[in-house]
Structure 1
Amino acid sequence: MTDQNAHRTLEDYPSRSSTDIRFADLDRQGHVNNAVFATFSEIGRVAFMYDPERPLATEGRSFVIARLVIDFRAELFWPGTVDIGTGVLRIGRSSFTLAQGIFNDGRLAATTEATIVMVDKETRRSTPLPPQTLDILQGLMLTGLPRT
């Protein structure tokens, strides 16, 4: 994972979503359990990939996650809210990589990278990203170097 993601602010990401921290998210140490960070990442990915204003999947296609890497940077506690920023880091033939920042009160709590593969719904095999999907993804690329 690129360390550049550690220097991005929420405003650097073209897509943003948020969710509440639930009491049930805590572990016996009293902070948000590490597994919940994957759920926070999923909330941001789903909002990004299935935005009805700019659908990425075409008829007969869907997405699967092939890789998820999480770097934990700060503890999170209940009560609170997390803001999830999501943007495109790389685009391949049939996949793309999303970078995300998970923030709490403006403080970076985690960064993630997720590789998403487009698959044919019938064969469940990877399939090339169609031109309209490529165009949308290009418009949601993380631009420039992150702020330091």
Structure 2
Amino acid sequence: MLSIKFDVRFYETDGLQHVGNTALVGWFETARLPIFKFFTPTLDLNNWPLILANYNVDFLEQIYLADPVEIKTWISHIGNSSFVVYQEVWQSDTKKAKGTTTLVRFDYASKKAVRIPDDIRAMLEEHKIDLE
């Protein structure tokens, strides 16, 4: 499991006094940074090898400004060219949201999905979770 903790920022809250639903997508992306580095250690955007194919977020409870959040990140599935990232948002020892993101290793020149190399596959496996 990968984990990152940070404070909720004031601008992420909405008129209902809780974190707006779009903030979580950004939090999840920020928490995927270590996974991005498996593929591109320098995060060179000119040679970016991933595309986002899908994401889902389930909101379980409201999140507020008061306490820091922790984003926990695992890999729930590894395919030939794609993998699924499973993430949770925790605040005050309570799971507040969960989500999945499907990423695909992609060759922009050929505009095709390409196989995940064995060395990167091994790094992804280190963070695997069985959700069933």
- The alignment's TM-score, normalised by the length of structure 2, stands at 0.86
SS in 1 for 2:68: strand
Determine whether 1:70 maps to 2:70.
no
Aligned to 1:17: 4
CA distance in 2, matches of 1:135, 1:73: 32
Is the CA contact (8 Å cut-off) linking 1:23 and 1:78 kept in structure 2? yes
Aligned to 2:39: 56
1:142 shift after superposition: 1.1
1:65 shift after superposition: 1.1
SS in 2 for 1:90: strand
- Give RMSD over aligned pairs: 2.0
1:47 shift after superposition: 3.2
Give every structure 1 segment of 4 or more consecutive aligned residues whose post-TM-superposition deviation is greater than 6 Å. none
CA distance in 1, matches of 2:52, 2:77: 14
Aligned to 2:23: 36
CA distance in 2, matches of 1:67, 1:92: 15
Q: Which residue of 122, 126, 129 maps to 1:135?
A: 122
CA distance in 1, matches of 2:102, 2:89: 17
Determine whether 1:103 maps to 2:90.
yes
- What per-residue deviation string (whole Å, max 9, x for no partner) do you get for residues 65-110 of structure 1? 1110000011111132110111110010100001111101211010
CA distance in 1, matches of 2:77, 2:53: 14
CA distance in 1, matches of 2:53, 2:62: 26
CA distance in 1, matches of 2:40, 2:77: 17
Aligned to 1:87: 74
Q: For this pair of structures, how many residues does the alignment match?
A: 128
Q: Percent identity?
A: 21
* Structure 1 unaligned regions, length at least 5: 1-13
SS in 2 for 1:136: helix
* Structure 2 unaligned regions, length at least 5: none
